[in-house]
Amino acid sequence: MSQTIKILPPTLADKIAAGEVVQRPAAAVKELIENSIDAQANSITVIIKDGGKSFIQVVDDGTGMSPEDASLAFARHATSKISTYEDLENIRTMGFRGEALASIAAVSLVEMRTRQHSDEIGTRVRVEGGAVLETSEVATNPGTSITVRNLFFNTPGRRNFLKGDNTEYKHIYDVIQRVAISHPNLSMRFVSDGEDILQLHPSTSQERLRELFGEKLEQSLFAFREETELAVISGYLGKPEFARKGRTEQYIFLNNRYVLNRSISHAVFQAYENLLEKGSFPMFVVFLTIDPHRVDVNVHPSKMEVKFADESSMYRFILASVRKALSAHDLIPAVGMRESSSNSEVTAVQFAMRTSASGDRARKWEELLQKADHALQPADDKRTAETELSLKHVDSMFTEGNTLTKSPSRIESPTTPGWVPSLWQVHSKYIIVPTQDGLMIVDQHAAHERVLFERAIARFSETNTKSQQLLFPHTIQLTAGDAALLQQLLHFLERLGFSLKLFGKTTVIVDGVPIDVRPGNEGTILQELLDLYKEDDHNLKLEPREKLAKSFSCKAAIKAGDPLKEAEMRSLLDQLFATEIPYSCPHGRPVVIKLSLSELDRRFGRTS
Ligand code: ADP
Ligand code: MG
């Protein structure tokens, strides 16, 4: 069978190319809106019918086109935006390929009305299936209005491929929403089947988010910004406690263009590592601004995919910036604990309470209590045993041979002079903490794990190692695999506080352990640590350093079943709320569960 190669007739080539740019009505809407933005519009109106299948109209108040430009606009590769290859490297406008209008016109019936502000009269152009039917003068408002009817009328394959009206509508809504987020100063109106869907006035970026997502969601976000020579990153990050099951709204804009880029998304997401439970996702809106030379947006006709010149530094920059923002943000819950002495050191718990958004009422209550304390107490009796425990004692708390014995916690009434809210340990597992608006339940193991994890991470970058020398060194026999792993981690283990001597290939002598290791645990901790490290190998993305810190904190932390004295609980809480991320353990499990009074009232059927 002989084959003949045929050059495609131009109209067919156009139809094929059109399919790449305009896959569905939403893509046409996106291109038309981008053109309006490029034309410096302040106001854009989008009107659709039947999910955009039968009717799309985009009206702007931008520059408009001269009669000459108007008749050229529908020719393929007609663009006013680039003319040289250098321009292509330095793209700052939304469109640049000069194929959007041609592609849309190839597969629909288009009518354009346009007028430059300085011109008296406008131009009307009608195109059907790519052929210009008419160019004439018309009286019209300054700016441009483009109407697209019967999309894909001449490509039934495409048309049949479209989803139901609701689905196509949703895609268009998403396109408009993305533009609305990244261009808060733009007036936008969206009408679908005669119904007003959006009516947005120029505003700040935060206002815009509130209008689009509602007050509640806006409150679950906080703003951040980071600037380096490489790039500027800014936007809004969802607080971890508002993360939802399943993917939520995640927006990434590169030079104000909505983009899909796995690497950026992953970097943002990775920064939330250890903050979220498995399967829950944070909302975020991230704006990246970088020199256009460092990024290639000409990867795909939809211009949504981008490639970076230096993907890995970009990744690290984003990861570090988001991490920093998350840890700098006040993620500490309100804790209604106080010390009896007004001149005692401010503990981390108190600090947490004071800096949290607890409101004036709580602060007044606090003042009242302190005044009462002062009046009721003899001056030299102001320090209770609990107040002696401050962060200074933290390190010794679980390490200097403190035996963990059971002691029933006192229940004190708030009227007792020097009252310090009691803590209760239940089932040698959880600590109940009264707070100013309810109570908090803390998982003691998870809490200590979080404390030790952050301390371990800090140790890796410290120069002086803190180690407890053992009077009786332990000799451990390792498997060949474990010995190899030990070699690989040796540097980090030493930083952590292990003092190890290797004999032969598989014998190791432990003559010092990190100070956080509890008495009785010195002989087994190393082997336990290695075992857990190996188990955690699904987490390939983590650096060995973090994995090691995770394994160590898990194994060295107090366990469920360890009874704690009140002083120990208090110290643990102080340490916990001094960490950067007290809400979740290094494995992402929650550390603290809060139960508010209003929740309790609701459950008991009290209505106030
Ligand atoms: P591109 O945007 O890639 O240049 P398009 O096919 O989308 O290509 O548009 C072709 C040209 O038509 C643009 O370069 C611009 O000069 C002009 N144009 C399109 N839409 C508008 C508009 N809404 N206002 C003013 N000019 C427009
Ligand atoms: Mg364009």
Return the best residue to mutate from 14, 79, 103 for the ligand 1 pocket (most ligand atoms within 8 A of CB): 79
Q: Tell me the pTM.
A: 0.59
- CATH number of the structural domain spanning residue 234: 3.30.230.10
pLDDT surpasses 80 at 370: no
Of 371, 396, 423, which residue is a domain's last? 371
Q: Is position 384 within any domain?
A: no
CB of residue 35 inside a 6 A radius of ligand 1: yes
pLDDT surpasses 60 at 264: yes
- CATH number of the structural domain spanning residue 46: 3.30.565.10
| Confidence label for 338 from pLDDT (cuts 50, 70 and 90) | very low
Please enumerate in sequence order all residues whose Cβ is within 8 A of that of 111, keeping only pairs 6 or more positions apart, or say none.
124, 125, 126, 127, 146, 147, 149
Tokens of residue 247, six digits: 């993917």
pLDDT surpasses 90 at 339: no
Return the best residue to mutate from 72, 80, 110 for the ligand 1 pocket (most ligand atoms within 8 A of CB): 80
For residues 275 and 327, the answer to whether their CB atoms sit within 8 Å is: no
pLDDT surpasses 70 at 386: no
For residues 53 and 156, the answer to whether their CB atoms sit within 8 Å is: no
pLDDT surpasses 80 at 341: no
Per-residue model confidence (pLDDT) at position 95: 57
**Of 497 and 384, which is predicted with more confidence?**
497
φ and ψ at 590, to 5 degrees? Answer: -70, 150
Per-residue model confidence (pLDDT) at position 589: 79
Per-residue model confidence (pLDDT) at position 297: 67
| Confidence label for 385 from pLDDT (cuts 50, 70 and 90) | very low
What is the distance in A from the centroid of ligand 1 to the CA of 58?
13
Q: Is position 380 within any domain?
A: no
Distance CA 149, CA 345 (A): 73
Ligand approaching nearest to the C-alpha of 73 = 1
Closest-lying ligand 1 atom to the alpha carbon of residue 96? 3
Q: Tell whether 324 and 337 lie within a shared domain.
A: no
Q: What is the DSSP string of 429-450?
A: TEEEEEETTEEEEEEHHHHHHH
Q: Is position 346 within any domain?
A: yes
Average pLDDT over every residue of 266-270 = 87
**Of 41 and 471, which is predicted with more confidence?**
41
The half-sphere exposure of 231 on its side-chain side, counting CA atoms within 13 A, is 28
Per-residue model confidence (pLDDT) at position 13: 60
Distance CA 274, CA 16 (A): 47
Q: Is position 3 within any domain?
A: no
Ligand approaching nearest to the C-alpha of 70 = 1
Q: Tell whether 40 and 113 lie within a shared domain.
A: yes
Q: Tell whether 243 and 358 lie within a shared domain.
A: no
Q: Tell whether 495 and 596 lie within a shared domain.
A: yes
Average pLDDT over every residue of 13-32 = 78
Closest-lying ligand 1 atom to the alpha carbon of residue 146? 23
Give tens-digit pLDDT for 488-511.
899 889 999 999 998 888 899 999
CB of residue 398 inside a 6 A radius of ligand 1: no
Average pLDDT over every residue of 165-177 = 94
CB of residue 431 inside a 6 A radius of ligand 1: no
Range of the domain at 254: 206-328
Q: Tell whether 217 and 197 lie within a shared domain.
A: no
Q: Report the nearest-CA residue for atom 13 of ligand 1.
A: 79
Q: Tell whether 457 and 432 lie within a shared domain.
A: yes
CB of residue 37 inside a 6 A radius of ligand 1: no
pLDDT surpasses 80 at 402: no
pLDDT surpasses 70 at 231: yes
Helix (H, G, I), strand (E, B) or coil at 22: coil
Percentage of the chain exceeding pLDDT 70: 75
**Of 269 and 93, which is predicted with more confidence?**
269
Average pLDDT over every residue of 109-129 = 96
The strand ranges marked E within 429-577 are: 430-435, 438-443, 467-477, 499-503, 507-514
Strand 43-49, strand 187-192: pairing: parallel
φ and ψ at 75, to 5 degrees? Answer: -80, 140
**Of 541 and 480, which is predicted with more confidence?**
480
Of 346, 371, 396, which residue is a domain's last? 371
For residues 113 and 153, the answer to whether their CB atoms sit within 8 Å is: no
Ligand approaching nearest to the C-alpha of 72 = 1
Q: Is position 387 within any domain?
A: no
Q: Tell whether 175 and 222 lie within a shared domain.
A: no
Average pLDDT over every residue of 592-603 = 84
**How many domains are contained in the chain?**
4
Per-residue model confidence (pLDDT) at position 71: 87
Q: Tell whether 141 and 186 lie within a shared domain.
A: yes
Distances (CA, A) of 593 to 126, 257, 289, 437, 447: 64, 39, 38, 13, 12
Percentage of the chain exceeding pLDDT 90: 35
Amino acid making up residue 3: Q
Q: Tell whether 192 and 219 lie within a shared domain.
A: no
Q: Is position 424 within any domain?
A: yes
Q: Is position 397 within any domain?
A: no
Per-residue model confidence (pLDDT) at position 401: 30
Of 143, 170, 201, which residue is a domain's last? 201
Per-residue model confidence (pLDDT) at position 296: 73
Q: Tell whether 355 and 259 lie within a shared domain.
A: no
Per-residue model confidence (pLDDT) at position 392: 28
Return the best residue to mutate from 38, 66, 111 for the ligand 1 pocket (most ligand atoms within 8 A of CB): 38
Mean confidence (pLDDT) of the chain? 78
pLDDT surpasses 50 at 233: yes
| Residues, Cβ < 5 Å to ion ligand 2 | 35, 95, 100
Per-residue model confidence (pLDDT) at position 176: 97
| Confidence label for 147 from pLDDT (cuts 50, 70 and 90) | very high
What is the distance in A from the centroid of ligand 2 to the CA of 139?
24
Average pLDDT over every residue of 284-306 = 77
Give tens-digit pLDDT for 75-111.
876 666 655 555 555 555 665 566 889 889 989 999 9
On the 0-12 / 13-18 / 19+ scale of CB atoms within 10 A, 306 is buried
Average pLDDT over every residue of 284-303 = 78
Please enumerate in sequence order all residues whose Cβ is within 8 A of that of 258, keeping only pairs 6 or more positions apart, or say none.
178, 179, 182, 251, 252, 304
Q: Tell whether 144 and 248 lie within a shared domain.
A: no
Amino acid making up residue 19: G
Q: Tell whether 16 and 55 lie within a shared domain.
A: yes
- CATH number of the structural domain spanning residue 576: 3.30.1540.20
Closest-lying ligand 1 atom to the alpha carbon of residue 80? 14
Q: Is position 379 within any domain?
A: no
Q: Among the ranges 252-256, 329-333, 543-547, which has the highest mean pLDDT value?
A: 252-256
| Confidence label for 31 from pLDDT (cuts 50, 70 and 90) | very high
| Confidence label for 246 from pLDDT (cuts 50, 70 and 90) | low
Average pLDDT over every residue of 352-378 = 36
The radius of gyration of the chain's CA atoms, rounded to the nearest angstrom, is 32
